[in-house]
Amino acid sequence: MTVVDLVIPDTAASLAASEVASAYQSAALLSHSHRVYLWAAGYARKHGIRCDGELLFVAAMFHDISLAPEFDSHTVSFEEAGGHVARVFAAGAGWPSERRERLGQVIVRHMWPDVDVADDPEGHLLSRAAAVDIVGKNLDDFSPAFQDEVLRRYPRLGLADEFLACFRAQAERKPDSSAARAVKSGLSSRIAANPLDALDR
């Protein structure tokens, strides 16, 4: 399996989601969003997990959108705010209400420690892929060649420092949020130990 095998869904919603993410996310967070999709799609292909590719891609593009200042919320966790932004986007894209709700759920659940693949394959894949990219969890699911190819296409661009700063800011303003819990549980140490940053050149 190579990155070339993992085609981004050729749909209007996928293209628009990529454009919106590009307009509002920093270069590091945008590259992270693309890597998350590749980790998720690659894991799905390797393990035969059937999923909605368009839904997964749009969720990957929007899962951290509320870390951008324009969509940052002072009242709810960033993943909840991101789910709301994504629902509005999906409404504009003409998605039916049930699918819009699924998109929001997938984004919220990417901060869950575990999502049952039988109940929510896209949520499972997004949660797992985000953990791969941020802290290197389950990185051994992917061959060294695949890891190198992902990083060549979408380098990390200082993600570790930027992401930790975002989470610390979220934690300070929202002490009951998922970001606050992550910071309290040693996120900085887990990020520092991520082997992907050592691989990235």
Q: pLDDT tens digits for 38-95?
A: 999 999 999 999 999 999 999 999 999 999 999 999 899 999 999 999 999 999 999 9
C-beta separation of 57 from 45 below 8 A: no
Mean pLDDT value across residues 170-184: 95
How would residue 4 be classed by pLDDT, with cut points 50, 70 and 90?
A: low
Supply angle C-alpha 151, 13, 27, rounded to 5.
35
Judged on CB neighbours under 10 Å (0-12, 13-18, 19+), 84 is: middle
pLDDT digits (tens, 9 = 90+) for 18-28: 999 999 999 99
Mean pLDDT value across residues 23-36: 98
pLDDT given for residue 200 in this prediction: 58
Which residue, 59, 64, 68, 67, is CA-closest to 17? 59
C-beta separation of 6 from 42 below 8 A: yes
Within the chain, where are the H helices?
Answer: 12-24, 27-47, 53-62, 78-92, 97-109, 121-135, 144-153, 159-173, 178-184, 187-192, 195-199
pTM value is 0.95
pLDDT given for residue 8 in this prediction: 84
pLDDT given for residue 5 in this prediction: 61
How would residue 3 be classed by pLDDT, with cut points 50, 70 and 90?
A: low
pLDDT given for residue 198 in this prediction: 82
**When comparing pLDDT for 198 and 177, which is higher?**
177
pLDDT given for residue 6 in this prediction: 73
pLDDT digits (tens, 9 = 90+) for 96-149: 999 999 999 999 999 998 999 999 999 999 999 999 999 999 999 999 999 999
